[in-house]
Amino acid sequence: MATLNELNEATPAALELLHPLSHWRLSHALDLYSSPLGSGLATQAWARRELQLLDQPARYGRRQVELAEDGYRAWVEPQDLLG
């Protein structure tokens, strides 16, 4: 699950809040994928790391994100942000 940094720190992620360029702080570890499709796991982002959503929501599928600390880009399952 993630919380939205631009609102109250305790605001939980919701699909309607997953806007491009919004910033999120992870409350638990999150799998990041190497592509928008497929099973290729790129890395895992640890709890308390911050990320930014980069792209428009896809009808189905992953969203591209960038980790704030190092600029690493990968894809995330939107449902994984919801916990």
**Unique residue bearing structure tokens 């806007």:** 19
What global pTM score does this model have?
Answer: 0.81
Architecture of the domain spanning 2-81: Roll (2.30)
pLDDT tens-digit readout, 16-68: 778 889 888 998 999 999 999 889 999 999 999 999 999 876 666 899 999 99
At residue 41, the pLDDT reads 95
pLDDT band at 6 (very low <50, low <70, confident <90, very high): low
Domain assignments of the chain as residue spans, ordered by start: 2-81
Q: How far apart are CA 7 and CA 12, in angstroms?
A: 10
**Cα torsion for 17, 19, 25, 27, to the nearest 10°?**
50
Q: Which residue has the tokens 């939980």?
A: 12
46 and 36 Cβ atoms separated by less than 8 Å: no
Burial (0-12, 13-18, 19+ Cβ within 10 Å), 66: middle
